[in-house]
Amino acid sequence: MSEHPLLTVEALACERDDRLLFRDLAFTARGGDIWQVAGPNGAGKTTLLRILAGLFGFYEGTLSWHQDLVLRQAMLYLGHRPGLREELSPLENLTWLSALHGQRDDNALLAALAAVGLAGFEDLPVAHLSAGQKRRVALARLWLPGKPIWILDEPFTAIDAEGIALVEQRLRHHAEQGGLVIYTSHHRLAADTRQILLGRGAARVQP
């Protein structure tokens, strides 16, 4: 774990549609941390991730990323939907997504798809893939280099037990290498995973 915080959150609160999602949320995240955001459906888990990723600006409180970070270059955000173009192949989707961040390494893209079990499916239109395979295409970005901060919304959705074990191993490896993982799920990675528990308008940090 890094001694220097990557993210500091103080007195964070959010209300949507005249409903308080959470308030008084405070925590500090460092490289090497894995944070799970948990709670019932509608508690504000996705909203919190979007706030942390800079995609939702309607909140109160303070959210400070480390001053040396350039978030666009440092952060990988994966939403709960795969976010793929159905008419494109897995390789074309990854190529397009990587180009958005100024990255392009065909060998790395092919290796990432192989890592998630999609060798041989690189050029098949995404529309022809199963829901689990589509999710694996999106998750293949976890095997691409250069993003120390991962913010992941329901990364275990639609994948089988083998895929869950594969993603678990990858998240732990990323943290061991000094990366930061913040993810939503009902699935806790390990006993040392820190938790942010949301529900009934409250927020609680579980060490």
Order the strands of the 149-153 sheet from edge to edge: 75-78, 149-153, 180-184, 34-38, 194-199, 202-206
Q: 88: pLDDT confidence band, cut at 50, 70 and 90? A: very high
pLDDT tens digits along 7-25: 999 999 999 989 999 999 9
- Rounded distance between C-alpha atoms, residue 44 and residue 16, angstroms: 9
- Average confidence (pLDDT) over 175-199: 92
Cβ 13 vs Cβ 23: under 8 Å: yes
Q: 104: pLDDT confidence band, cut at 50, 70 and 90? A: confident
pLDDT tens digits along 145-185: 889 999 999 999 999 999 999 999 999 999 999 999 999 99
User: Residues 145-159, buried b or exposed e (16+ Cβ, 10 A)?
Assistant: eebbbbbbbbbbbbb
Asked whether the predicted pLDDT for residue 85 surpasses 90, the reply is yes
pLDDT over 70 for what percent of the chain? Answer: 96
DSSP 129: S
- Rounded distance between C-alpha atoms, residue 63 and residue 56, angstroms: 12
Hey, what domains does the chain have and what are their CATH numbers? 5-206 (3.40.50.300)
Task: Specify the pairing of strand 60-65 against strand 5-16.
Answer: antiparallel
Q: What is the pLDDT of residue 189?
A: 87
Q: Residue for token digits 């092919």?
A: 110
Q: 2: pLDDT confidence band, cut at 50, 70 and 90? A: low
Q: What is the pLDDT of residue 75?
A: 92
Q: What is the pLDDT of residue 16?
A: 92
- Rounded distance between C-alpha atoms, residue 58 and residue 193, angstroms: 28
Asked whether the predicted pLDDT for residue 200 surpasses 80, the reply is yes
Cβ atoms within 10 Å, residue 190:
11
- Please, what is the average pLDDT of the chain? 93
pLDDT tens digits along 53-75: 999 999 999 999 986 777 778 99
Q: What is the pLDDT of residue 1?
A: 62
Tokens for 99, please give them. Answer: 């180009």
